[in-house]
Amino acid sequence: MNLAVVLVSPKTSGNVGAAARAMLNMGASDLRIVAPRCDYKDSASRAMAVHAAPLLESAKLFGTLKEAIADCDLVVGTSARTRAELAPPQHPAQVRPLVQAASSAALVFGPEESGLSNADLELCRVTMLVPTAAYASLNLAQAVLLSCYEFLQSESGAGSAGRSEEPRFPERKLALSSEMEGLYGHLHDVMMLTGYTDAVRARHTMRLWRVALDRAAFSPAEVRLVRGLLRQVQWKIQNEQAKNEPATRPAPQPGPSD
């Protein structure tokens, strides 16, 4: 299982270096950075990374989170608080079986001062909260270290002391993030076509559907199955609309005898 660490718009280069070091400590090597606001390869970053400097050199740079996670079949966003209209964050123990079943998972961390936006969390299949005491805000590197420990240790068979055996999801291929986003775009189009929602309510409606469908953990075949139904709905409605439209014929032109 490949575990990518995605840093969204990091502000401080030292934090990126420290996060890279945390990844190396836990055996993760796939660092992805989205729209950085700092030079993540500068001397401050390298000083914090120490022996993890090669991870900074090999880090993949993206313009958007959607691009960074397109090839992942499980995307886990991190948040220190519950967000209105979004599914509540889950405990790492609840997320672990999903990560174990994935072939290419991503852990997504937001900007140091604000965390992930609601729009970013909508792109994540699961939202996770690392349990802490009353002061819930973790440094970026701390959050990366704890999260990678939870999932990479669980994969190796080690884990938190006294952890009970957890049920595993049946091993099967999960749909990539890009496939799920294609499904959501298709579903939105059909909702608008059928009048199920409108431009004012569409965003809220899609959030609810994302939560429900993400919970199902679709396979690629299941995505194709649902999209086949959506295409049939589109065809049926458009076909009926074409039948009901009055035939438009060119007006008859007057002949020579008129």
Given phi > 0 = left and psi -120 to 50 = alpha, else beta, which region is 184? alpha
In angstroms, the CA 2 to CA 33 distance is: 16
Helix axes 13-26, 140-156, angle to 10 degrees: 10
Average pLDDT over residues 15-26: 95
CB 112 within 8 Å of CB 55: no
75 has a pLDDT exceeding 90: yes
What's the pLDDT at 90? Answer: 87
Are 132 and 33 contained in the same domain? Answer: yes
Are 108 and 210 contained in the same domain? Answer: no
Q: Which helix (H) or strand (E) holds 153?
A: helix 140-156
Are 23 and 74 contained in the same domain? Answer: yes
Can you read off the two tokens belonging to residue 41? 């390869």
Residue 257 counted as domain residue: no
Weakest-pLDDT range from 8-22, 93-107, 142-156: 142-156
Domain of residue 235 covers 177-244
Residue 7 counted as domain residue: yes
CA atoms within 13 A on the CB side of 133: 1
Are 117 and 229 contained in the same domain? Answer: no
CATH code for position 189 = 1.10.8
CB neighbour class for 243 (10 Å; exposed up to 12, middle 13-18, buried from 19): exposed
